[in-house]
């Protein structure tokens, strides 16, 4: 890892202890209750919660990677990712706890009621010492195959729970005592706590609130940056596994593991990204005074960001996001193929201004990956035919003299439609389609039609890694997870010899959420 860091046996035991705790879910409603200008007091309580909750999730990732199937856990890149999660766990659990003075306690709990902590900082996550051997003696609910979301195709999101599957609540582990699940739950540091807690917005908070919020935000920013290259590094790990086992495809066990691993990662990244963004939006003492003077109790802020709560846009315009994705995909395509202009992409939206609550970063990722595939298929399917037609029309012309910019490719269509339940986006291309026997393979990891997949240097700059035009075979599987994460889906119908239609279904979250305060 370049820092001399190592996973000690003491730290590993602590990680196993935390991996035995139940995760505490966070609803989308809690996420947006902070509002566009969050109260520093609410951020303070949320910071305490996240410092207790994230280690549980990180510990589960370490445990999952240690138990990765079919010797995937032995691959160097898999071990590297596991150590990243272990180091992040260590940093969070070693953060100093805040001291809540009587004066601050009065501000946080004006009615004398405590949700997330007591007046003496009773939220200390290290006081659950009585459970240090639980991980060694009892099965872990999260790893039970009977309730494995990936196997049952009902994906857990590692925290941001939108749809609850109540029939899972009564399933217990084989050999587990009837009360052990509730006992694990009650011993979790975040049991009974919530991510969002209401706090006054018309007061100036003391310095220790801002100091602790900054401490947690800086720690999360460092951790999030460390994990930027997790997807690419795990891809490298699967490549290592394929090379060692001399196989072209991953088996169903690894496919299931990766689905679960990446879905869980989306949830962790969502929680960290949301908390960092909320910290960036919280009002400073000076800003509070000025806003209070100019606007009364309503805080000011960037008008363009007023519809954002953290990374969630409560009024996300699908057409605008699609335009951004189109421009980005065309730019990557032009750079890759040396084109002056990529094939045309027509945006068709019969219903103008389709807006709903969503995470724009997720939406642009899904659209970009799908459009990138359509552009590549269109160019590589039609280039030989177009060159042959040009040579037939000009017998004296040589193939090497044909400039790709002189070829006219068929356009790609992006159609957006809104229904009562879903917003659907259809991406249609004439890129030659996919053989019916190969359609199931496109959802498997590391399946790609590129002859040579990109490789990563041993110590490359994680933050500068740029997604290639094609090669890792992760675009569609990861995009489908992003869609399913918020209750949607990604489907594909292909006509071999003609083209492919991809359907992105987006759940209209606002229709099932309570009105925002």
Q: Which of 365, 387, 413, 426 is catalytic?
A: 365
Residue 489 buriedness (CB in 10 A; 0-12 / 13-18 / 19+) = middle
- Considering the candidates 116, 213, 373, 507, report the single residue annotated as catalytic: 373
Chain mean position to CA 453: 23
Residue in this structure with the two tokens 């229904």, named with its chain if needed: 419
Residue 382 a catalytic site member: no
C-alpha radius of gyration, the chain, whole number: 25
Name the residue among 36, 32, 40 with its Cα closest to residue 201: 40
CA distance 380 to 43: 50
Residue with tokens 């951020």: 43
- Measured CA to CA, the distance from residue 285 to residue 282 in angstroms comes to 10
Q: Is residue 173 annotated as part of the catalytic site, yes or no?
A: no
Active site residue 323: no
CA dihedral angle for residue 244, residue 246, residue 248, residue 252, rounded to 10 degrees? -70
Query: Of 227, 372, 505, 508, which is the active-site residue?
Result: 372
Task: Catalytic residue, from 53, 369, 418, 430: name it.
Answer: 369
- For residue 257, what are its two tokens? 């593991």
And the tokens for 456? 């990563």
Which residue, among 78, 26, 11, 87, has the nearest Cα to 244 in the 3D structure? 78
* Catalytic site includes residue 165: no
**161, 155 in Cβ contact below 8 A?**
no
Rama region for 2: left / alpha / beta (φ>0; ψ in -120 to 50; rest): left
Give yes or no for a contact between 193 and 116, defined as CB atoms under 8 angstroms apart.
Answer: yes
Residues 6 or more apart in contact with residue 497 via CB below 8 angstroms: 432, 433
Catalytic residues: 365, 369, 372-373
């Amino acid at each position: 890892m370049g820092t001399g860091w190592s996973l000690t046996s003491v730290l590993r035991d602590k990680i196993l202890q935390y991996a035995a705790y139940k995760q505490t879910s966070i609803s989308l409603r809690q996420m947006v209750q902070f509002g566009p200008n969050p109260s520093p007091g609410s951020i303070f309580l949320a910071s305490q919660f996240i410092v207790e909750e994230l280690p549980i999730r990180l510990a589960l990732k370490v445990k999952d990677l240690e138990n990765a199937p079919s010797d995937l856990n032995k691959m160097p890149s898999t071990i590297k990712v596991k150590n990243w999660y272990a180091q992040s766990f260590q940093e969070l659990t070693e953060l100093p706890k805040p001291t809540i003075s009587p004066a601050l306690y009065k501000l946080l709990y004006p009615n004398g009621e405590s949700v997330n902590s007591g007046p003496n900082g009773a939220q200390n996550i290290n006081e659950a010492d009585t459970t240090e051997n639980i991980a060694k003696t009892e099965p872990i609910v999260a790893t039970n195959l009977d309730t494995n979301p990936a196997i049952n195709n009902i994906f857990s999101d590692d925290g941001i729970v939108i749809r609850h599957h109540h029939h899972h609540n009564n399933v217990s582990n084989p050999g587990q005592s009837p009360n052990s699940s509730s006992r694990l739950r009650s011993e979790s540091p975040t049991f009974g706590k919530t991510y969002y807690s209401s706090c006054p917005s018309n007061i100036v908070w003391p310095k220790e609130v801002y100091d602790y919020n900054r401490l947690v935000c800086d720690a999360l920013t460092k951790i999030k940056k460390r994990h930027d290259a997790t997807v690419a590094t795990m891809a490298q790990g699967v490549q290592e596994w394929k090379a060692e086992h001399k196989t072209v495809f991953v088996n169903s066990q690894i496919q299931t593991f990766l689905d679960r691993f990446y879905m869980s990662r989306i949830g962790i990244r969502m929680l960290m990204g949301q908390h960092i963004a909320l910290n960036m939006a919280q009002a400073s003492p000076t800003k509070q005074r000025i806003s209070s003077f100019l606007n009364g109790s309503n805080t000011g802020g960037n008008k363009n960001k007023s519809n954002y709560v953290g990374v969630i846009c409560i009024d996300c315009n699908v057409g605008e996001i699609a335009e951004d994705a189109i421009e980005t995909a065309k730019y990557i395509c032009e750079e890759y193929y040396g084109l002056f202009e990529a094939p045309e992409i027509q945006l068709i939206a019969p219903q103008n201004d389709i807006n709903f609550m969503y995470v724009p970063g997720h939406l642009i990722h899904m659209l970009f990956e799908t459009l990138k595939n359509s552009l590549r298929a269109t160019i590589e399917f039609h280039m030989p035919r177009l060159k042959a037609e040009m040579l037939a029309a000009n017998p004296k012309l040589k193939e090497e003299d044909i400039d790709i910019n002189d070829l006219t490719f068929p356009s790609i269509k992006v159609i957006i439609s809104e229904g009562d339940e879903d917003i659907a986006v259809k991406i249609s291309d004439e890129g030659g389609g996919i053989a019916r026997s190969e359609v199931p393979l496109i959802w498997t990891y590391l399946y790609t039609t590129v002859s040579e997949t990109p490789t990563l240097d041993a110590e490359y700059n994680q933050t500068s890694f740029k997604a290639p035009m094609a090669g890792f075979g992760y675009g569609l599987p990861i995009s489908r997870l992003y869609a399913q994460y918020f209750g949607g889906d990604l489907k594909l119908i292909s006509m071999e010899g003609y083209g492919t239609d991809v359907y992105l279904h987006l759940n209209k979250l606002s229709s099932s959420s309570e009105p925002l305060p």
